[in-house]
């Protein structure tokens, strides 16, 4: 890839909380970046799990180009179609019923959930509309040893037919017209850092080998460790903000406290790998075919 900068940017990293989150200064994501700057951003992302860049003037092409420096991009969404001229974008628009006000890791019902997500804010309500992130690595570390040992062996089925998809009857019907389910380890090993992270959240439906009631109880207990306040950071959006998060080590929640006001952003995602448990077993597809989602753009 051609390098157009002659010197690396002066990247400033300011942590935002004790367990995750950092604000990045000194980087213009709309401009071509040298490899050293991209590597510094990647290190900050892996350490802090979610990073934020204020005041970024991005259109579709420049956002996709920036995201592509971190890996191959997926299609905008495995279920919803994207505009033909913007296949790698997913518009998050509250006026179309897209609010994501549930704790979740993105798209865990596919066999290869996205590795990294890039969300660029376009419209911000005058009050409210923050997003919260949670660190699933430190949540795992906080589990008491007997629960951690159980989680290490647990397998969970994730589905698009979940509590996450309940905005309207019409939207839900479209979302679950085809059932997609994948069995993932409840604890997976991060492919870059080697850290263990909980893989639960809004798409998790049942624990393999347990009754429905026991499954609900297990998922609730694990999820409570993820969303404890000390595992979270909260971001107050401004127009032009770019959030980049490690989808392999976080959950997030878009707070819907802005009434009928508009909230809109655009997301690109870097393709991920199949999650692998601490026992070496990878996730497996139960139903549905989302292979085209990660096939890349020709």
205 belongs to the catalytic site: no
In the set 104, 120, 158, 196, the catalytic residue is 104
36 belongs to the catalytic site: no
Determine contact, residues 15/44, Cβ cutoff 8 Å: no
In the set 155, 158, 196, 252, the catalytic residue is 252
106 belongs to the catalytic site: yes
In the set 90, 112, 263, 267, the catalytic residue is 267
Determine contact, residues 180/110, Cβ cutoff 8 Å: yes
Where do the H-state alpha helices sit in the chain?
A: 35-48, 60-68, 136-142, 145-153, 169-175, 212-226
77 belongs to the catalytic site: no
In the set 90, 102, 106, 196, the catalytic residue is 106
Query: How far apart are the C-alpha atoms of 100 and 108, rounded to whole Å?
Result: 14
For the four alpha carbons of 141, 201, 15 and 42, in that order, the dihedral sign comes to positive
Determine contact, residues 247/228, Cβ cutoff 8 Å: no
Query: How far apart are the C-alpha atoms of 233 and 237, rounded to whole Å?
Result: 13
* Catalytic residue IDs: 104, 106, 252, 267
């Amino acid at each position: 890839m051609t390098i157009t900068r002659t010197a690396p940017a002066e990247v400033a990293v300011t942590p935002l909380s004790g367990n995750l989150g950092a604000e990045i200064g000194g980087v213009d994501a709309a401009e071509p970046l040298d490899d050293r700057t991209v590597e510094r951003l990647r290190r900050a992302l892996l350490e802090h799990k979610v990073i934020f860049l204020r005041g970024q003037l991005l259109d579709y092409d420049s956002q996709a180009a920036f995201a592509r420096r971190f890996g191959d991009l997926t299609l905008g969404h495995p279920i919803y179609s994207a505009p033909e001229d913007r296949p790698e974008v997913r518009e998050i628009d509250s006026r179309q019923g897209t609010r994501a006000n549930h704790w979740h890791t993105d798209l865990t019902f596919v066999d290869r959930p996205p590795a990294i997500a890039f969300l660029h804010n376009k419209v911000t309500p005058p009050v409210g509309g923050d997003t919260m992130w949670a660190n699933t690595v430190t949540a795992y570390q906080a589990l008491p040893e007997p629960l951690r040992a159980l989680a290490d062996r647990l397998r969970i089925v994730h589905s698009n037919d979940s509590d996450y998809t309940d905005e309207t009857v019409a939207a839900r019907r479209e979302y679950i017209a085809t059932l997609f389910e994948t069995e993932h380890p409840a604890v997976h090993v991060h492919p870059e850092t080697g850290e263990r992270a909980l893989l639960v959240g809004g798409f998790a439906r049942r624990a393999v080998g347990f009754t429905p009631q026991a499954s609900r109880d297990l998922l609730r207990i694990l999820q409570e460790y993820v969303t404890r306040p000390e595992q979270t950071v909260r971001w107050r959006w401004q127009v032009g903000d770019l959030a980049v998060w490690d989808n392999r080590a976080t959950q997030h929640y878009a707070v819907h406290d802005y009434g009928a006001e508009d909230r809109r952003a655009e997301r690109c995602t870097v393709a991920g790998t199949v999650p692998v448990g601490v026992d070496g077993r990878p996730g497996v597809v139960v139903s549905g075919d989302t292979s085209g989602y990660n096939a890349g753009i020709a």
